[in-house]
Amino acid sequence: MTDADELWIPLVDEPLGSIVAEVQAAHPEIDDLVVGARRTLAFRTFAYVRVGMLLGQLLVDQDVPQSDAWVEALLERPANRDAVTREVIAVAREVAADAKYADEEPVGPDDEARARFREFARRRLEA
């Protein structure tokens, strides 16, 4: 049996991980919805699965050239890219609305802590 890390990396690697990350980077509201380690894990897991399923559906429904770049070929079409974006945002909203994660704390510092650190760093650099 393989080590868990060896198994995890191929599952989240190309292309699903980069597609979800690209949509997430283009839509900062996703980060506001997906707060906390458990929500982030749930979001990524379900986003990868649902985007993979959507791409499979699009592959069956549409003609694309037979090649290793079939995902890129599908995503060149604006309607398909929009469908993927809608799916990722829908996953983020569903995870955010899930009551199981209601009491989860955000990961990392809040905005107030970041502001305090920036002020501290600014003072230290000026000195």
Rounded mean pLDDT, 78-106: 90
Question: Does the predicted TM-score (pTM) go above 0.95?
Answer: no
**Helical H segments across the chain, by residue range:** 4-12, 16-26, 29-33, 37-61, 70-75, 78-97, 111-126
pLDDT at 27: 97
User: How confident is residue 9, by pLDDT bands cut at 50, 70 and 90?
Assistant: very low
Q: Which residues of 73-88 are buried (b: 16+ CB within 10 A; e: fewer)?
A: bbbeeeebeebbbebb
pLDDT (tens digit per residue) in 102-114: 776 666 667 787 7
pLDDT, tens digit (0-9, with 9 covering 90-100), for 50-75: 999 999 999 999 988 888 889 999 99
Give residue limits of the domains in the chain.
4-126
Mean pLDDT, residues 86-114: 83
Closest among 86, 102, 106 to 40, alpha carbons compared: 106
- Which amino acid is it at 72? E
Which three-class secondary structure state does DSSP give residue 105? coil
- The Cα–Cα gap between 96 and 55 comes to 24
**Mean pLDDT, rounded, of the chain:** 85
